[in-house]
Structure 1
Amino acid sequence: MSQFPDDGEDLFKQQVLAKVDEMEAADPAPTGQGGQGGEEPPQPCFPNYIEWVTHWLAPTYARHVDDDVTSNAWCPWYLKHPEATSTFEAMWRAWEHYRLDGKTGISVWWRDHCHPHMTRLMDPAGPFKFCSVKGHFINGQLKPLPLASPGAVLSSPAFTEAGAVSTTTTGRTTHVGRLFARLTGR
């Protein structure tokens, strides 16, 4: 029996796992950069963040979630949320690192990684806002953040009056940095 609420999602899971395997094969771990003396780095406990979320995080980080997302929002189809997948991958990588510290590593991971990230992910206004335990985006859909075109921003009076007039790759960092400093007073 599938651990996922909709067996039809197994194909999606297989496609995602295949993509993860493809990415890992294309970017092998560097050799000789492990611990002292050129040792190989330790093997991860879990091969990827999906396995880690499924077999470690979800069972360990137990919370009450339901259709009333006023306290904890969750989407069983989290793989369809780019912010969640990126966050879970970062959490998994940090967990794999900190688990090797036999003293305070996992405590540091909980404090600095898990609790802040999960609080943001499960926030009712977070990435799972329109989802419920019954479905993905059943109450609406989040849209990407709205952006003005770079050309409109670069040619706006506020931008040019602040002294940030360069649109070249080499000059942009300096001018945009000056603009940021002038606008924020930093």
Structure 2
Amino acid sequence: MTAPWLVAGLGNPGPAYAATRHNVGFLVADEAARRGNASFSAPRGMYADVAETRLGATGFGAVGDAVKVVLAKPRTYMNESGRSIRALCSFHKIPLEQVIVVHDELDIDFGQMRLKLGGGDNGHNGLKSTRAHLGSGDFYRVRYGIGRPPGRQAASDYVLQPFPSKLREDVLVEAARACDAIETLINEGLPAAQNKFNT
């Protein structure tokens, strides 16, 4: 039996953080669940809101000969994201090479995205925690660009601010594009997804 994939969107729980730049991973997980007709619940011991769907050639929500995909939004705060990712991998028997983490990326401009396998955490506490709990950084990353803060604003303040209202629609467009990239990554592999979506 084929092992499932895990798509973990990073963010902070609660309505106060819902529209912030740091929570774009949650937006992408929500879009994947919407496409897959899946609903989130909070299984005991997983420290996350979790939904299950299937992915085939037609995308999320496929039936029949389709791979199982576990979607997760950790209920821990960002700096403990790895705790829920490790619990989900253990419970569902998901190998490291089938873990996809979706996160905000300061070093990429808004409207751009990059996919990669492995690498450091670049100061991102969610990635740092995930690397620590999985014992490796060799998982896939979908890096959703949010750009650098203007002027001398601290990055820690910038990521916890909501996107400007004029960008709200664009934010959802980028979340949908990230979902397209995940579908391509699982169905066709990383090189195909990079060629199509890396900007």
The TM-score normalised by the length of structure 1 is 0.29
Normalized per residue, which structure has more helix?
1
The TM-score normalised by the length of structure 2 is 0.28
Q: Which has the larger radius of gyration?
A: 1
Normalized per residue, which structure has more strand?
2
Structure with the bigger RCO (C-alpha within 8 Å, sep 6+) is: 2
